[in-house]
Every structure is written in structure tokens, then in C-alpha cells.
Amino acid sequence: MDIDVIFKIAAVGILVSILNAVLKQSGRDELAMLTTLSGLILVLLMVAKEIVNLFNLIKTMFQF
């Protein structure tokens, strides 16, 4: 767990933005929408794993 996770999320965000702009430019709005959605889900999977880690950490730390 380090700063590279943040960099990864930033990279996904920037990439999705660029793809979105290119696809919108070429008139494929439905594909642009799908890229946005898939980027969101990709990041959500990364974040969900870490949230589970955080909750386990808190559970052991605060003796739930």
C-alpha cells in the first residue's frame, strides 16, 4: 500500500478522460459512456479491496 495506488487511479482517470474526448469527437457517444462506466468500475474494484483491508485493520485495532 503506497502512493502508486493513487497514481494508478489518476492514470485511469486521465486515460478515461482522453478516450472520452476522442470518442465524443468522433460521434460515438454510447462508446464514450461505456468507457466512463468501465473506468469507474475498474477504480471501484481497486478501492473496494482496500476498504476491506481498512475495515479489517480497524476491527483488529479497536477490538470489535
Q: What sign for the dihedral angle of Cα 28, 33, 37, 39? A: positive
Which CB sits closer to another protein, 7 or 26?
Answer: 7
Query: What does the alpha-carbon distance between residue 7 and residue 53 come to, in Å, rounded to a whole number?
Result: 19
Q: Which residues contact 1 (CB under 8 A, 6 or more apart)?
A: 50, 53
Per-position x/- string for 34-53, each x denoting binding to another protein as judged by CB under 8 A, each - no binding: --x--xx--xx-xx--xx-x
How near is the Cβ of 40 to another protein at its closest, in Å? 6
Nearer to another protein, 14 or 34 (CB): 14
**Near another protein by CB under 8 A: residue from 3, 25, 27, 30:** 3
